[in-house]
Amino acid sequence: MAFGTIKSVRKVFPVGELGSRATEPVVALDDASFAFERGELVALLGPSGCGKTTLLRIVAGLIAKTSGSVTIDGREIDGPLGDYGFVFQAPSLMPWRTVIDNVLFPMEILKRSDRAARARAAELLELVGLSSFHHARPHQLSGGMQQRVALCRALIHRPNLLLMDEPFGALDELTRLEMNDLLLRIRKETGATVLFVTHSISEAVYLADQVIVFSRRPARVSQQIRISLPYPRSQAVRFTPAFTQAERAASEALGIVPHLEAVAS
């Protein structure tokens, strides 16, 4: 059995939960199904507002699904497990804590903030190139550096699964490429299983073992694309035919370019 199984997950937000302006229930997610193995990096790709973020929060146990089933590592998810790392689009650091204390926050909540935790925090900060910033405050760091701290915070408790919600979407192009390479390096070091929400086709293809393509709302999984480019990947891979082919396949699944066969006929 696969490490993670998402089966026919459906989420309908009732009128009351969406604020006063909504007049009918919104189907955020309509029948999402896919599976992934331990250690895989899975990109959830789709247009904005297509429910992929909702799915990520369902997997995290933060919101309840309407129907379907989510199984991670043999456990059915119906609430937070305390065992996942979460990275948001904004770094969402705590301005009142120093960098190292931000990284240690999950360990404090889990009551495991000991010497070993501090050592691991230092190790992670070293890995993302911030070893000289332990006692800096978040507002003294650039956006990219803050997001790297957020990444360390998400990994400190050795989570079973790393959930990332458009984590590099707010960064400039160059920083984003850097962060992509950093994520791949960290994934290699930690062996983390990652669910990565993005609306960038090239980011999805560059990072992932498999790309799950969502259609517009109500979101369905329209295609599951396995990316066979070998790791470690470097930026040069973007200019290979295999990469372009994978991008084309994702674009076709999204419906932004016609299928090749259709063009031929």
Partner 1 sequence: MTARSLTRIIYPLAGLVLLVIVWALICRIGRLSVVVLPPPDKVLYAFVANLGLLFEESLVTLKETVYGFALAVALGLPMAVAVAKSRTLNLMFYPLLVALQSVPKVALAPIILVWLGPDLQSKLAIAWLVAFFPIVVDTAAGLRATPKELLELAHSLKASRMQILFKVQFPASLPFVMTGAKVAITLAVIGAVIGEFVGSSEGLGFLLLTATSQLDTPLAFAALFALSILGLLVYLAVEGVELLIAPWLPPAAERH
Footprint on this chain of partner 1 (rule: CB under 8 A)? 57, 60-62, 80-82, 84, 86, 88, 90, 92, 94-96, 105-106, 108-110, 137, 139, 157
Of the pair 32, 162, the CB lying nearest partner 1 is at 162
Distance CA 169, CA 52 (A): 14
- Any idea which residue has 């919101």 for tokens? 63
Smallest gap from residue 43 Cβ to partner 1 (A): 20
Identity at 11, one-letter amino acid code: K
Distance CA 50, CA 147 (A): 24
Of the pair 90, 257, the CB lying nearest partner 1 is at 90
Do residues 121 and 197 make contact, with C-beta atoms less than 8 angstroms apart? Answer: no
Of the pair 141, 205, the CB lying nearest partner 1 is at 141
Cα–Cα distances in Å, from 89 out to 62, 169, 170?
A: 16, 6, 7
Distance CA 117, CA 101 (A): 11
Smallest gap from residue 214 Cβ to partner 1 (A): 21
- The stretches of the chain forming alpha helices (DSSP H) are 52-59, 99-109, 115-127, 143-155, 173-190, 201-207, 241-254, 260-264
Of the pair 2, 136, the CB lying nearest partner 1 is at 136
Distance CA 58, CA 77 (A): 8
Of the pair 65, 233, the CB lying nearest partner 1 is at 65
Smallest gap from residue 192 Cβ to partner 1 (A): 15
Neighbours of 155 (CB within 10 A): 25
Smallest gap from residue 88 Cβ to partner 1 (A): 5
Smallest gap from residue 99 Cβ to partner 1 (A): 12
Of the pair 49, 258, the CB lying nearest partner 1 is at 49
Smallest gap from residue 94 Cβ to partner 1 (A): 7
Q: Which two tokens stand for residue 198?
A: 């993005």
Residues 6+ apart with CB under 8 A from 256: none
Distance CA 138, CA 147 (A): 10
Strand order in the sheet with 210-214: 84-87, 161-165, 194-198, 41-45, 210-214, 221-226
Of the pair 93, 250, the CB lying nearest partner 1 is at 93
Smallest gap from residue 237 Cβ to partner 1 (A): 32
Smallest gap from residue 183 Cβ to partner 1 (A): 19
Of the pair 109, 119, the CB lying nearest partner 1 is at 109
